Amino acid sequence: MKLHASGEDYLEAMLILQRQMEESAVRSIDLARHMGFSKPSISHAVGVLQDGGFLEMDKDGFLHLTDKGREVAEKIYERHQFFIDQLIAVGVDETTAEQDACRIEHAISDESFQKLKNAIRSGGKQYGKYSGG
């Protein structure tokens, strides 16, 4: 199942909430509050993510990322943090950096992200005809 950006956002939010909350006890209502969406919207998304094998709900109604869901969530979260950091480092205000990072994290390919991350970590060497432009 191919996830859309919104599904990735739900998984990323689940990961963030699990890290913030005791014993990873996240409920649909927690997700709704965190994301600012209605409970019915969250319920629908949770159902889709469960059907796709990204989330599970236990008998007490707590949501848990599956291994597959955690992998996607961690990938998106890493990209999100990377792009926020890079945008702020070049002078973009925090609010704009957050908004732009959220869009970029879904659009960039794995290959491009890895190459960009590696280039920046290795000292930011410029490549190609547009370097220094």
Residues 6+ apart with CB under 8 A from 12: 73, 76, 77, 80
pLDDT of residue 24: 65
Dist CA 5 CA 51 (whole Å): 17
Q: Which structural domain range is residue 86 located in?
A: 74-121
Q: Is residue 126 part of a domain?
A: no
- Give the mean pLDDT of 83-96: 95
Read off the pTM.
0.83
In this structure, the answer to whether residues 84 and 102 fall within a common structural domain is yes
Give me the chain's average pLDDT, please: 89
- Give the mean pLDDT of 68-94: 95
pLDDT of residue 36: 94
Q: Provide the number of structural domains found in the chain.
A: 2
Q: Is residue 27 part of a domain?
A: yes
- Give the mean pLDDT of 9-18: 94
- Give the mean pLDDT of 37-41: 93
CB 53 within 8 Å of CB 66: yes
